[in-house]
């Protein structure tokens, strides 16, 4: 089971410092990571980025973000990303990261994305140079998201964007501006990989829930939509836990792990079993102290529980 | 009350492009002789600044500033994704 917290469009500046912090202090008790779906700042300045890092950094859980259109307003998005990265926050733009959480690998692929519209009302890569640049930007963003999504091997894959990949989560916004709020190409990119969840922001008056044409759940986590400090989503709960239960022994004995780590786990388990069995045999032979020592050493050697090697 | 047909557009652009506001999520609706502003912002200072700037730039327009501040409390529920 993995729990991820998510919010977008927090637009942090000095006047917001401290507003989110009480809820964020509780976050490690509620979730394993925090994802922020862009518009971290108001004008995209380094100073505002530092405010964001102060408010959302140092939580004790990984923080992964994409930038939004507000973070580009001052044309200093590189500087903003550098400030955030320096504060230990992972910034994704056509890239992916993997978090190891409770023995699961959570893959997150992110891109800001762009507008362009959706089926029946979308812009085309045709005509004036400005129009081709507009649609070309969306196409490039979607292509980089698709590549990032397909680049990771993980147990649960999440797509993180600022712009929306589907029109369903825009319901509430004026229809006339849908083309500036997202693009169907982002949805196609998400459907090109086995994503478990897609998160976006940007549409303050939109709706929370939708699905891509391929069936991937989409959540609009823009702050004015969710109306709380962050939402929490649970992944790998039903099927994941069942699979875990079924695969428990495989995992415990290291066969589910790869490379030298798996071999080491297997050897440690064999050694632990030998030590504990020897200890029990010693107890039957009335070698009380020796038996207890062997059992304790065996428990300490075996992976899991009180192991020295966990 | 001004009769300018483009009033809502002018207000919308001011809300977005004014450096002290930069809000894209404010709704502007004209109702009889009133202009109603809606939506939510991140702080009370931002809401007050919006109302102040609108009053300065459109002194002849009667404005109702119905803008809220988005709550930021911790969630009480978890959604299971399946």
What mean pLDDT is predicted for residues A194-212?
Answer: 98
Which ipTM value was assigned to this complex? 0.88
Q: How many domains does chain B have?
A: 1
What confidence tens digit (pLDDT) does each residue in A71-90 have?
A: 999 999 999 999 999 999 99
Tell me, what CATH number does B26's domain have? 3.30.70.1770
Alpha carbon distance A219, A197 (integer Å): 8
Choose the weakest-confidence range: A12-21, A93-102, A139-148, A273-282: A273-282
Q: Are A202 and A163 in contact (CB under 8 A)?
A: yes
pLDDT at B73: 97
Query: How distant is the Cα of A9 from the closest Cα of chain B, in angstroms?
Result: 9
Rounded to a whole number, what is the distance in angstroms from the first to the last CA of chain B? Answer: 53
Alpha carbon distance A240, A70 (integer Å): 37
Q: Please report which helix (H) or strand (E) contains residue A7, including its range.
A: strand A2-7
Could B22 and A43 be called an inter-chain contact, meaning their C-beta atoms sit closer than 8 Å? yes
Interface of A with B (CB under 8 A): 3, 9-12, 15-16, 19-20, 22-23, 26-27, 30, 42-43, 70, 73, 196-197, 204-205, 217, 219, 223-224, 227-235, 237-239
Res A206 pLDDT > 70 = yes
Q: Which of B38, B41, B70 to mutate to test the interface with A (most CBs of A within 10 A)?
A: B70
What confidence tens digit (pLDDT) does each residue in A128-173 have?
A: 999 999 999 999 999 999 999 999 999 999 999 999 999 999 999 9
Res B82 pLDDT > 90 = no
Q: Are A5 and A34 in contact (CB under 8 A)?
A: yes
Q: Which chain B residue shows the shortest CA-CA distance from A198?
A: B81
What confidence tens digit (pLDDT) does each residue in B23-79 have?
A: 999 999 888 778 899 999 999 999 999 999 998 998 888 989 999 999 999 999 999
Q: Tell me which chain B residues have a C-beta less than 8 angstroms from the C-beta of A232.
A: 75, 77-79
> Residue length, chain B?
82
Alpha carbon distance A52, A70 (integer Å): 13
Res A181 pLDDT > 90 = yes
Domain positions in chain A are: 2-245, 249-301
Query: How distant is the Cα of A198 from the closest Cα of chain B, in angstroms?
Result: 11
pLDDT at A307: 61
Could B27 and A205 be called an inter-chain contact, meaning their C-beta atoms sit closer than 8 Å? yes
Could A70 and B27 be called an inter-chain contact, meaning their C-beta atoms sit closer than 8 Å? no
Q: For residue B58, tell me if it sits in a domain.
A: yes
Could B74 and A10 be called an inter-chain contact, meaning their C-beta atoms sit closer than 8 Å? no
Instruction: Kindly indicate whether the domain formed by A2-245 is annotated with CATH number 3.40.50.10490.
Output: no
Query: How distant is the Cα of A158 from the closest Cα of chain B, in angstroms?
Result: 11
pLDDT at A187: 98
Domain range enclosing B16: 7-69
Could A223 and B74 be called an inter-chain contact, meaning their C-beta atoms sit closer than 8 Å? no
The overall average pLDDT reported for chain A is 90
pLDDT at B30: 85
Residue A107 sits at φ, ψ, to 5 deg, of: -95, 135
Tokens describing residue A170 = 């825009």
Alpha carbon distance A74, A76 (integer Å): 5
What confidence tens digit (pLDDT) does each residue in A88-131 have?
A: 999 999 999 999 999 999 999 999 999 999 999 999 999 999 99
Q: Tell me the range of A34-43, A256-265, A291-300 where mean pLDDT is highest.
A: A34-43
Q: Which of A7, A14, A16 to mutate to test the interface with B (most CBs of B within 10 A)?
A: A16
Res A279 pLDDT > 90 = no
Percent of chain A predicted with pLDDT > 90 = 76
pLDDT at A243: 36
Percent of chain A predicted with pLDDT > 70 = 88
Alpha carbon distance A109, A93 (integer Å): 8
From residue A220, alpha-carbon distances to A7, A8, A21, A177, B31 in Å are 9, 8, 22, 16, 30
Instruction: Name, in order, each residue with C-beta under 8 angstroms of A195's C-beta and a sequence gap of 6 or more.
Output: A149, A157, A158, A159, A216
Coil, helix or strand for A164?
strand
DSSP 8-state symbol, B14:
H
pLDDT at A272: 85
Residues A105, A111, A117, A122, Cα dihedral to 10° = -100
């Amino acid at each position: 089971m993995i729990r991820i917290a998510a919010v977008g469009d927090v637009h942090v500046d000095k006047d917001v410092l401290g507003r989110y912090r009480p809820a964020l202090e509780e976050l490690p008790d509620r979730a394993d990571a925090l994802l922020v779906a862009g518009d971290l700042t108001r004008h995209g300045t380094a100073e505002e980025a530092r405010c964001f890092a102060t408010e959302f950094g140092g939580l004790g859980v990984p923080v992964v973000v994409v930038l939004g259109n507000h973070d580009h307003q001052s044309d200093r998005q590189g500087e903003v990303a550098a400030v955030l990265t320096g504060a230990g926050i992972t910034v994704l733009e056509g890239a992916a990261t993997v978090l190891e959480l409770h023995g699961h690998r959570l893959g997150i692929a992110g891109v800001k994305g762009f507008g362009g519209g959706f089926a029946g009302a979308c812009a085309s890569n045709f005509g004036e140079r400005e129009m081709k640049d507009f649609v070309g930007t969306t196409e490039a963003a979607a292509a980089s998201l698709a590549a990032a999504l397909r680049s990771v091997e993980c147990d649960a894959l999440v797509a993180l964007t600022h712009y929306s990949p589907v029109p369903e989560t825009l319901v509430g916004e004026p229809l006339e501006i849908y083309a500036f709020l997202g693009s169907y190409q982002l949805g196609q990119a998400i459907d090109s990989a086995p994503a478990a969840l897609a998160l976006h922001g940007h549409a303050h008056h939109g709706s929370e829930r939708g699905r891509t044409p391929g069936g991937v759940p989409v959540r609009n986590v823009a702050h004015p939509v969710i109306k709380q400090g962050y939402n929490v989503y649970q992944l790998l709960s039903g099927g994941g836990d069942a699979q875990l239960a079924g695969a428990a022994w495989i995992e415990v004995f290291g066969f589910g792990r790869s490379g030298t780590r798996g071999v080491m786990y297997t050897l440690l388990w064999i050694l632990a079993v030998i030590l504990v069995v020897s200890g029990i045999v010693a107890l039957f032979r009335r070698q009380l102290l020796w038996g207890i020592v062997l059992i304790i050493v065996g428990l300490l050697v075996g992976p899991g529980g009180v192991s020295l090697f966990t | 009350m001004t009769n300018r047909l483009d009033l809502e557009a002018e207000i919308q652009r001011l809300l977005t492009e004014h450096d002290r506001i930069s809000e894209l999520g404010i709704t502007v609706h004209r109702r009889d002789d009133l202009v109603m502003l809606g939506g939510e912002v991140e702080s009370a200072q931002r809401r007050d600044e919006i109302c102040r700037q609108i009053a300065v730039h459109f002194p002849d327009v009667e404005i109702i500033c119905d803008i809220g501040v988005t709550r930021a409390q911790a969630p009480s529920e978890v959604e299971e994704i399946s």
